[in-house]
Amino acid sequence: MEFDGQNADKTSEMRLLHVSHAIPPEANTGVENYTVQMARHQAEHHEVAVYARGLRTDSDTEERDEAGEFLTVRVPLGPGHHHTHERFRQPQAERFRRFLAQWRPDVVHFQHLIYHSLDYPRIARESGAATVMTLHDFWFSCPQVQRIDYRGAICDRAPGVGCLPCIWEGRRATLISPELVARLARQSVTEKAALAFLPGAAMLRDWAKDSQACFDHLDVVISPSRFLAENILQNGLHPRRLIVTDYGIPVPGPTPAPVQGRSLEDGVRFGVIGTHRLKGLGVAVEAFSQVADTPASLLLYGALPDNLKGSLPENCRAQGRYTAEELEQVFAAFDVLIVPSIWYENAPFVIREAFARNKPVIASDLGGMAESVRHEIDGLLFPVGDAPALAQAVRRLAQEPGLLERLRANIHPPKFYDEHLAELDTIYTEAAGARFPEIATASSGAAQGFV
């Protein structure tokens, strides 16, 4: 069941600690920005700190954020962080224990533990804090995080011997053919035998054991999508309590003035935001190379990969990087967002940001994208990686009378920060109330468990 926080009351002030693998300005992707935004808004009602790895520091640092609203603590990344086992067993547990004893949080909210230690939740609970984790990706079911295998293909395997080729590829320690291991992975009878002798197998066993132990010491696990929640359960992990509740996003700013320089030849304008290799930019560009005769154009936001520089079709325009302050101008420049990612995604913020601005979305029919977009209602879905199918969706939106207007009319506004923060307050209160009855409130908005 999903979270029902309609009657959630705000808690009295608590001491909240967020733990993340990194924060801005050193890292500026979804998890890091979400962590800082939650801390900033929660600091209006609670005492808040963020504990993160410092990618460019050799010693512990403590400082207030730029606005002085919350405490940030950065600890060194450590000498070893390139191999898979070093991503979940960093020798930083005692440093974390000391900080908890000093700061004494009521609730520790883990945003990501990569490059930390999966032992942190146990240490937090031993300190007397309630423990909450938000799942942002597939780290607990994929050592490579994104469920993309060593060949660059989408991986549907459960964790096990089939993960070894990816681990070896990263460590350049392939003593046995990855293809052989892949064949072993398909023979379930060999799984136990393979895990008994293959290089890296001990690390996989430790990872699985430590992951479940981590979940055992979490009072609540939050998943922003049902897809990710089901993935966790299907891969054999059993949280004490699992809640499905979507992210919140900021309320959009004022709509900018009409974009200058737009011509009738542009037709319907489409936009792609983000150019990471798994975001499927090449799929979008290939699709637009097939619709040169269609009144449609594509705007590409982000750093353009080298392989596409100088080779874009005439109906595609690279817009370059943008700042957070320019987000409204970015969305105002196009009519439809395209999310052509070639990996599962969890609950893409960019889809929610588009819906908040009444922009329909075309997305890959995969994972959290397929859960976020209602096909033929507020957007269109196409088979992942299928450029001709994406091209057909573009043609429809550019040429089919009334389709764009119908999709716009069916968009439901996403959840905004106020609602999301109220939900988190309820979750924190219920989790902490058992340990700290004096801060519990008579909230009637009980969080619903997924299982």
- Residue 330 pLDDT greater than 80, yes or no: yes
Across residues 69-94, what is the average pLDDT? 64
pLDDT band at 117 (very low <50, low <70, confident <90, very high): confident
Residues with Cβ within 8 Å of residue 424, at least 6 apart in sequence? 38, 42, 109
Better-predicted residue by pLDDT, 172 or 430: 430
Domain span at residue 189? 161-201
pLDDT tens digits, one per residue of 8-45: 443 458 999 999 988 887 777 788 999 999 999 999 99
pLDDT at res. 451: 36
Better-predicted residue by pLDDT, 203 or 428: 428
pLDDT band at 114 (very low <50, low <70, confident <90, very high): confident
Tell me which residue has tokens 């996989």.
Answer: 204
The answer to whether residue 97 is domain-embedded is: yes
Cα–Cα distance between 345 and 228 in angstroms, integer? 9
Same domain, 230 and 100: yes
Cα–Cα distance between 287 and 273 in angstroms, integer? 16
Residue 309 sits in a domain whose CATH number is 3.40.50.2000
Cα–Cα distance between 223 and 427 in angstroms, integer? 13
pLDDT at res. 441: 40
Same domain, 228 and 306: no
pLDDT band at 267 (very low <50, low <70, confident <90, very high): confident
Question: Is the bond preceding residue 25 a cis peptide, omega within 30 degrees?
Answer: yes
- Residue 377 pLDDT greater than 90, yes or no: yes
pLDDT band at 67 (very low <50, low <70, confident <90, very high): low
pLDDT at res. 172: 45
The answer to whether residue 351 is domain-embedded is: yes
The answer to whether residue 9 is domain-embedded is: no
The answer to whether residue 217 is domain-embedded is: yes
pLDDT band at 291 (very low <50, low <70, confident <90, very high): very high
The answer to whether residue 400 is domain-embedded is: yes
Range name among 128-142, 201-215, 261-275, 331-345 with the lowest pLDDT average: 261-275
Cα-only R_g, the chain: 23
Q: Alpha carbon of 294 to those of 66, 269, 316, 370: distances in Å? A: 47, 11, 13, 26
pLDDT tens digits, one per residue of 190-243: 555 555 566 667 777 777 888 889 999 999 999 999 999 999 898 888 898 999
Across residues 148-160, what is the average pLDDT? 80
Q: Calculate helix-pair angle for 178-185, 164-171, nearest 10 degrees.
A: 160
- Residue 416 pLDDT greater than 90, yes or no: yes
Mean pLDDT over all residues of the chain? 82
Across residues 356-381, what is the average pLDDT? 97
Percent of the chain, pLDDT > 70?
78
Percent of the chain, pLDDT > 90?
51
The answer to whether residue 147 is domain-embedded is: no
Write out the H or E segment, with its range, that includes residue 417.
helix 417-433
Same domain, 341 and 428: no
**DSSP-derived secondary structure for 104-155:** --SEEEES--TTSBTTHHHHHHHTT-EEEEE--SSGGG-TTSSSB-TTS-B-
Same domain, 277 and 318: yes
The answer to whether residue 151 is domain-embedded is: no
Same domain, 21 and 135: yes
Same domain, 25 and 94: yes
Residue 93: burial class (beta carbons within 10 Å; 0-12, 13-18, 19+): middle
- Residue 111 pLDDT greater than 60, yes or no: yes
The answer to whether residue 230 is domain-embedded is: yes
Same domain, 93 and 231: yes
Domain tally for the chain? 3
Across residues 362-370, what is the average pLDDT? 96
Same domain, 188 and 216: no
Range name among 96-110, 176-190, 238-252, 336-350 with the lowest pLDDT average: 176-190
